[in-house]
Amino acid sequence: MSSPRKFAVLGNPVKHSLSPRLHALFAQQTGLNIQYEKHCVEPDAFSLTVAQFFEDGGVGLNITLPFKADAFALAGSRASDRAKAAGSANTLWLEDGLVHACNTDGIGLVNDLLRLQLPLHGSRILLIGAGGATRGVMLPLLQAGCAHLHIVNRTEAKAHALAELARPLASPGVHVSASGFASLDGAWDIIVNASASSLAGEALPLPDTLFGPDNIAYDMLYTRNADTPFLQQARRAGVGQTSDGLGMLVYQGAESFRIWNHVQPEPVPVLTTLRTELAESA
């Protein structure tokens, strides 16, 4: 039997990462022999760790916090358009002995929204937060054909700064706007929480009228078996549909797997398995 193709996820912390299990399921599904590990990396050791991994025959790396910007910088001009738009990368690999990078977070979100049978073309999307998570998904959402993308954040200036970055990425006729919470208005088909509020257990200063029976609240965070604080808030306000970000995790991982192995895995069975395993371990 041939030696396994070697992969890993680098981050700090990385203890609770589901990536090894996720990619083991993809490998099982596609018949590939892989080894996927997770490594907690000290802040000053990232570049050296990446270099050593590839020198030792590694094939591909997933990168999580706090190293996504460092991963993007390593690739330089060899970063994909998605990585350049995000200013960060979560997927690294070698071509011709050089590090290449992509950001699969945004396409992961888009593909999970499509799994939920949401019509992205012509939709009005509200993105909550103005950090790296928001920046990472802007381009794929715009490429999916949304009609209006609005960014809202506690610090309004940060929301406007991201909107300025997004506008050149938008097709003609697509509206990109921004505001603080106090001046937020309008009706939105898809409301995506890309902030860290659920991680902190905080409610967001959103009016109940924002959520209605015809829209969906989507939290990019996932939990083991309960709604996040944001999804609880949306449900209480009468939102029609909710989803956490476990599907986004699976779909972004599927895109990394495709880039590395040139094989397209089927995410839905893997998502079903992970959902069951998380519920059983809670």
Which residues are catalytic, by number? 68
Q: State the DSSP code for 74.
A: H
Q: What angle do CA 147, 153, 158 make, to 5 degrees?
A: 95
- Taking the C-alpha atoms of residue 258 and residue 236, their distance in angstroms, rounded to an integer, is 39
Backbone angles phi, psi at 263, to 5 degrees: -135, 135
Biggest CA–CA distance in the chain, Å, is: 62
Residues 10 and 64: beta-carbon distance below 8 Å: yes
- Taking the C-alpha atoms of residue 121 and residue 143, their distance in angstroms, rounded to an integer, is 9
Residues 131 and 197: beta-carbon distance below 8 Å: no
Name the token pair of 116. 């939920």
The candidate with the shortest Cα–Cα distance to 146, out of 84, 179, 194, 189, is: 189
Which spans in 11-131 are helix H? 19-30, 46-55, 68-75, 81-86, 105-115
Which spans in 223-266 are helix H? 229-236, 246-261
Cis check: omega of the bond before 269, within 30 degrees of 0: no
* 11: amino acid identity, one letter: G
Computed on alpha carbons and rounded to an integer, the radius of gyration of the chain in Å comes to 19
